Amino acid sequence: MKALVVSDFERTPEWTDFAEPVPGEGEVLVHVTAAGLSNLARMQASGRHYASPTAVPFVAGIDGVGRLDDGSRVYFFAGRRPFGAFALRSIAPAELCVPVPADVSDITAASIANAAMSSWAALIQRAAIQPGEAVLINGATGASGSLAVKIARHLGAGKVIVTGRNPDVLAKLTATGADEVIPLTLPPEELAREFRRSIESNGIGIVLDYLWGASSEAILKAVEALGRRHAAPAIRFVQIGSISGHTITFPAAVLRSTGLQVMGSGLGSVSDRELVADIGAAFKVATKLGLTVGVSPIPMAEGAAAWAQGGSRSERMVFTLD
């Protein structure tokens, strides 16, 4: 069969022949119809993600939408390597497949699955959000962060505060549920003051961090400063993405002087079964909440060229098959 195959971590996957997947015990064969090129899929294919395969060749892609042999339409987490989602056919553990509702198209499901899961799992599985809590979303102008605003509201957030650099997107977020905007383009000292003010005045209980880097350092320092002045704020800081850098300076005093809880959310910190269940829950309310992202549908056979050209943060590339 044809698939986008990684044969070298330093090269773009190629559309070429690959062995047919044969389901084992507890697995199902999926006839793929759409699969999104998420940041996670890119990182795994480059060998730079902690969950990347250790040996080549393998089929790229971690999840997608397709039909089972009985015709049912499902979202699936690609299972046993070397098989993956960017292929005519893939295999998946039966327990890692969920139905796609009739009001959600294949392309929509493939485009929002990873993005919606990122905040849903972080809020439910990791932060255990409580009704009325204030949530700060650091890096809300990308696809995942934008959906996080609506999802946080749906899951009970009393206030949603967002950060980002794109003023046009930040303005739109106030119309879809954000109560307050903190531009990351502010000078460092002014940004630090804004974080301290917002954390204190809004009683922020959860931070969803899609960026890491300098803005995360500023948030943590703001938490430390407030911890020294007042009773220690019990903030759950959930690390989800690292677009702004993979390392930060993290003073030990931040942990000693506050009630801060730092945790991650992603493959490994949340079980695959829970992640897929969260995606299924998001699909059920996708139409009601307007969970959509900008999409660039591309025939999977043309995926190698599109992959090499990169993409934009505002549109999710989705590989399609008829």
DSSP state string for 172-225: HHTTTT-SEEEETTS-HHHHHHHHHHHHHHHTEEEEEES--HHHHHHHHHHHHH
Peptide bond into 13 cis (omega under 30): no
- Residue 186 to residue 196: CA distance in whole angstroms: 14
Q: Which residues contact 186 (CB under 8 A, 6 or more apart)?
A: 194
| Tokens matching residue 102 | 């009739």
Q: What pLDDT sits at residue 46?
A: 87
Q: What pLDDT sits at residue 67?
A: 98
Q: What pLDDT sits at residue 313?
A: 60
Q: Where are the domains of the chain?
A: 2-99+292-320, 115-264
Peptide bond into 82 cis (omega under 30): yes
Q: What pLDDT sits at residue 312?
A: 61
Q: What pLDDT sits at residue 53?
A: 86
Q: What pLDDT sits at residue 237?
A: 97
| CATH hierarchy code of domain 115-264 | 3.40.50.720
Q: What pLDDT sits at residue 200?
A: 92
In this predicted model, what pLDDT tens digit does every residue of 253-263 receive, in sequence order? 888 888 899 99
- Residue 159 to residue 46: CA distance in whole angstroms: 38
- Residue 262 to residue 258: CA distance in whole angstroms: 11
Q: Are 159 and 184 in contact (CB under 8 A)?
A: no
Give every residue of the chain whose pLDDT is below 50, as ranges: 232
**At the fourth CATH level, which superfamily is domain 2-99+292-320?**
Medium-chain alcohol dehydrogenases, catalytic domain (3.90.180.10)
